[in-house]
Chain A
Amino acid sequence: MTRRRFVLARGRFWTGLLPWAWMLLFFALPFALIVKVSLSTPELAIPPYVPPFVMEPGELLPHFRPDFTSYRRLHDEVLALGTPAADLQYLSAWGGSLLLAALTTLLCLLIGYPFAYHIARSREAARNTLLMLVMLPFWTSFLLRVYAWMVLLDSSELGLINRLLLAAGLVDAPLQLLYNQGAVLVGMVYSYLPFMVLPLYANLVKLDQRLLEAAADLGARPWTTFLRVTLPLSRRGIVAGAMLVFIPAVGEFVIPDLLGGGDVLMIGRRIWEDFGPNQDWPMAAAVAVTMVLVLLAPIVLLHRHGRANGDDGEAGP
C-alpha cells in the first residue's frame, strides 16, 4: 500500500539544503575537478597543472582546449599490449591491482563464508560475543594491524615466523616472507575479512531454519541442502561482501606500500606516486577517472540486474 503522508511537508527545502549543498561542494565539485585536471597539462607550478580553459583577449568566455596526453599514455599502453619489452607501467599496475583484489575477495569469501555460517548457526547467546570478536580488530587501528604483519613476516632471522621455522628446524636460513605479493595478499585478507563476514552473517542469520528442515524433510542430504537452498539464498550477502572487499582492495595502497616492497605495482600506489613524488597531477587524475569508470560499471550493472530480476530490498517500502 503506497500512501503519501502529510508529515513535515514544511521545512523540506531547509532540510534538504544542507546535505545537498555539502555533497555538491565536497563530492560533485571535486569530482568535476578531477575530470578537468585529467585534461590539463602538467607544469611546474602551484598547483602543478595548466587548466584546459584558455582566455583569449577580447572574448567573454574561455576556450576549452583539453590536453589528452594523460589518456593517450594509457591508450598507448593498451595498444602496445603484447609487444615485447613494452613499458607498461600503468597497465601492469592495473593488472596487478585487479588480480590481487580478486584473489583477496576469493580468499575472504572462502574463509569468511564458513566462518559467518557457523557464527549464524551457533547459540543465540553466543552469537553476540562471537560477532563482537570479529568487529573488535576492525575498531582498532588499521595501520597498526598491518604493522603487526610486518613484525610477523620480517624476513631477517628476527621475524617471528622465521624464528619459529628456524627453531623447528624446518628451514636453514630465514625465508623472504616480507616485501612480496604473498605478504600483500595476507595483509589484505587480514584487513578485509571483517567486511566480508559482516554482510554474510547478516544474511545467513536471517535464513529461515524451517527451510533447511523442509529440505531435509523432503530427503535432501546436508550438502544438497547447502548447495540448493542455503547458497542461493545467501547470494545477496555474497555479492554485498564481495563488493565491500573488492572495491577498496583495488584502490588499496597502504598495504602494498608497507608489506609489498618496491616491485609490487598497484594502481592506487601509482596514483599516489604520480600525485606525490612525480608531481604529475593530470596523469594521477586520468588514472583516477579510469578507475572510477572501471569500478562503477559493475556496480551500476549489478544494480540494474537486481532491479530487472525484481529483487526486493533496494527499492524499499
Chain B
Amino acid sequence: MDHNGDGAAGGRANRRAYLRIEGVTKRFDDTLAVDDVSLEIAEREIFALLGSSGCGKSTLLRMLAGLEMPDAGRIVLDGEDLAAVPAHRRPTNMMFQSYALFPHMTVEANVAFGLWQLRPRLARAEVEARVAEMLELVQMQRYARRKPHELSGGQQQRVALARSLAKEPKLLLLDEPLAALDKKIRQRTQLELVNLIERVGVTCILVTHDQEEAMTMAGRIGVMNEGRLLQVGTPGEIYETPDCRFTAEFIGETNLFQGRVVGGALACAEFPAAIVLPPDAGLAQGDEAWVSVRPERVALSRAGGVPGGAGCNAATGEVAEIAYLGSHSVYHVRLANGRIVIASVPSVHWGDAAPPTWGDAVRVAWFAPDGVVLTR
C-alpha cells in the first residue's frame, strides 16, 4: 500500500516538532481564509501545502512570514513564539511567486540585501564571501553584476532562492516556487530545487496548486480546502488512502460511488449491484458512505470474459471515450444506467489482441480492498 511513500521523509516526520502551528485562524472581512489549522513540522523536512487558489494556503504561508497576523492561534518555531514578531525580525525567509527581485539592484546586491540588514553589521568581506557562496550554490556567479530584468525566468528563480537562503533562515518559505516557469524547465527545476534544499538542510514549507510539484518535491503534503487543513501525509498516503472526498478527487482522478450501508455492502443507485466493501470498513448499518476507486485499480475486459470471484465488484457497459496516452489509455465506460466509470489500462495489457474500441461492450471490475471507504 505504501509503495509510493518516501521512506526517508516518513522517518523525518517522526522527529520532534520544529515548527508548531496551533489553531491558527485568519479572517478577511467576511471570509475565513484560514480556519483553525494545526500542524507540526520536523526539522529539515520539506512540506507542501497543496490546494486550489483561494484555499488559504498562501495566507497561511504569509502568516508564517509575518506578512499577515493571525486572528487566533500560535506559531512556534524552534521554541520561539512568533505571534508578536513582525516580518522583518523573523528568522524566516520567503521566495515569492513573482520572485520579487529588486529591479534597481544587481544580482549581487539582491542576494546581499538581507545580510546588510543584520545587526550588528557584518563586515563587507563577510557579506561578499557569503554572497559568492550563495551564487555558487545556485550557479549564478557569472551573472553577479546583472540586473534582474536581464535574466531569464529560470535564472531569476535561482537568484531569488539564493537571496532567501543567504541569511540561513530557520524556515524557508516557497510561494508557488515554479509557477512562473515554462512547463519544460519546471519539471527539471523541481528536482534541482529539492536537491539544493536538502544539501543546505533548511526546513522548508512550499505552497503549490500543482499536485505533481507537491508530490515530487515534498516529503509530506497537507491538502487544504476552504481554509481548512483536510489531510496530512506522505504523497503515497494522500494518493492511496485519502480520508475525504475532496482529497480523493483533488489528487489524481477517481471513481466515487455514494450510497448507504445495507447488510455489509454499499447500496448505490449508480452501480448495478451492491458494492462490496473492504473487510475493515468499520461502518454501521444505514451509514452514508462513499467508495473511491482509482482508475488504475479498475480492471477492463471484453464483456463475456471470466467473471470475478467473491469480493469483486463488476459491471458491464460500453466504451464511450478513449484517451490514448502512450504508456496507458484512459477508458470512459458508460454503464447501462448512464454512469461513467473511468479505467486506466496499461498499453501492454492487451498483448497482441486488439484493444476494445468505441461502442464495444466491456466489463469493469475491481477488488473490494482496492476501494477506499470515505465518510466525509
Complex CA–CA separation, A130 to B257 (angstroms):
66
Please tell me if the beta carbons of B87 and A6 are within 8 angstroms of each other in the complex. Answer: yes
Please tell me if the beta carbons of B28 and A5 are within 8 angstroms of each other in the complex. Answer: no
Residues of chain A within 8 A of B68, CB atoms compared: 3-6
Complex CA–CA separation, A6 to B87 (angstroms):
9
Chain A, residues 3-43, CB within 8 Å of chain B (1/0): the string is 11111000000000000000000000000000000000000
B69 on the interface (CB 8 Å rule)?
yes
B66 on the interface (CB 8 Å rule)?
yes
B11 on the interface (CB 8 Å rule)?
no
Residues of chain B within 8 A of A45, CB atoms compared: none
A2 on the interface (CB 8 Å rule)?
yes
Chain B, residues 207-245, CB within 8 Å of chain A (1/0): the string is 000000000000000000000000000000000000000
Residues of chain A within 8 A of B54, CB atoms compared: 1
Please tell me if the beta carbons of A6 and B29 are within 8 angstroms of each other in the complex. Answer: no
Please tell me if the beta carbons of B69 and A3 are within 8 angstroms of each other in the complex. Answer: no
Which residues from 168 to 216 on chain A have a C-beta closer than 8 Å to any C-beta of chain B? none
Complex CA–CA separation, A2 to B69 (angstroms):
15
Please tell me if the beta carbons of B67 and A6 are within 8 angstroms of each other in the complex. Answer: yes
A-B contact count (CB 8 A): 17
Please tell me if the beta carbons of A2 and B67 are within 8 angstroms of each other in the complex. Answer: no
Residues of chain B within 8 A of A6, CB atoms compared: 66-69, 86-87
Residues of chain B within 8 A of A3, CB atoms compared: 28, 59, 68
Measured CB to CB, the closest approach of chain A to B296, in angstroms, equals 36
Complex CA–CA separation, A5 to B68 (angstroms):
6
Residues of chain B within 8 A of A5, CB atoms compared: 67-68
Measured CB to CB, the closest approach of chain B to A223, in angstroms, equals 43
Residues of chain B within 8 A of A2, CB atoms compared: 28-29
Mostly helix, strand, loop or mixed at chain A's interface? Answer: loop
Residues of chain A within 8 A of B29, CB atoms compared: 2
Complex CA–CA separation, A5 to B29 (angstroms):
13
Measured CB to CB, the closest approach of chain B to A257, in angstroms, equals 48
Most buried by B among A1, A2, A5: A1
Complex CA–CA separation, A102 to B69 (angstroms):
54
Residues of chain A within 8 A of B59, CB atoms compared: 3
Residues of chain A within 8 A of B28, CB atoms compared: 2-4
Complex CA–CA separation, A6 to B28 (angstroms):
13
Complex CA–CA separation, A7 to B66 (angstroms):
10
Residues of chain B within 8 A of A4, CB atoms compared: 28, 68
Residues of chain B within 8 A of A1, CB atoms compared: 54
Measured CB to CB, the closest approach of chain B to A124, in angstroms, equals 20
A9 and chain B: residue at smallest CB distance: B86
Chain B, residues 39-60, CB within 8 Å of chain A (1/0): the string is 0000000000000001000010
Complex CA–CA separation, A7 to B29 (angstroms):
18
B29 and chain A: residue at smallest CB distance: A2
Complex CA–CA separation, A1 to B28 (angstroms):
10
Complex CA–CA separation, A4 to B67 (angstroms):
10
Complex CA–CA separation, A7 to B86 (angstroms):
10
A7 and chain B: residue at smallest CB distance: B67
Most buried by B among A1, A5, A6, A7: A6
B69 and chain A: residue at smallest CB distance: A6
B67 and chain A: residue at smallest CB distance: A6
Which residues from 270 to 301 on chain B have a C-beta closer than 8 Å to any C-beta of chain A? none
A2 and chain B: residue at smallest CB distance: B28
Complex CA–CA separation, A2 to B87 (angstroms):
20
Complex CA–CA separation, A3 to B175 (angstroms):
16
Complex CA–CA separation, A1 to B86 (angstroms):
23
Residues of chain B within 8 A of A7, CB atoms compared: 67
Residues of chain A within 8 A of B69, CB atoms compared: 6
Measured CB to CB, the closest approach of chain A to B235, in angstroms, equals 28
Complex CA–CA separation, A1 to B67 (angstroms):
16
Complex CA–CA separation, A303 to B54 (angstroms):
32
Complex CA–CA separation, A308 to B92 (angstroms):
45
Complex CA–CA separation, A6 to B68 (angstroms):
6
Measured CB to CB, the closest approach of chain B to A18, in angstroms, equals 24
Complex CA–CA separation, A180 to B68 (angstroms):
65
B86 and chain A: residue at smallest CB distance: A6
Complex CA–CA separation, A5 to B58 (angstroms):
13
Measured CB to CB, the closest approach of chain A to B101, in angstroms, equals 18
A10 and chain B: residue at smallest CB distance: B86
Residues of chain A within 8 A of B86, CB atoms compared: 6
Complex CA–CA separation, A5 to B33 (angstroms):
13
A5 and chain B: residue at smallest CB distance: B67
- Please give me the 8 A-B residue pairs with the lowest Cβ-Cβ distance, nearest first: A6-B67, A6-B68, A6-B69, A4-B28, A3-B28, A5-B67, A2-B28, A1-B54
17 contacts across the A-B interface (CB closer than 8 A)? A1-B54, A2-B28, A2-B29, A3-B28, A3-B59, A3-B68, A4-B28, A4-B68, A5-B67, A5-B68, A6-B66, A6-B67, A6-B68, A6-B69, A6-B86, A6-B87, A7-B67
**Contacts from B to A (Cβ < 8 Å):** 28-29, 54, 59, 66-69, 86-87
Query: Other than the known A3-B59, A6-B87, what 11 A-B pairs have Cβ atoms closer than 8 Å?
Result: A1-B54, A2-B28, A3-B28, A3-B68, A4-B68, A5-B67, A6-B66, A6-B67, A6-B69, A6-B86, A7-B67
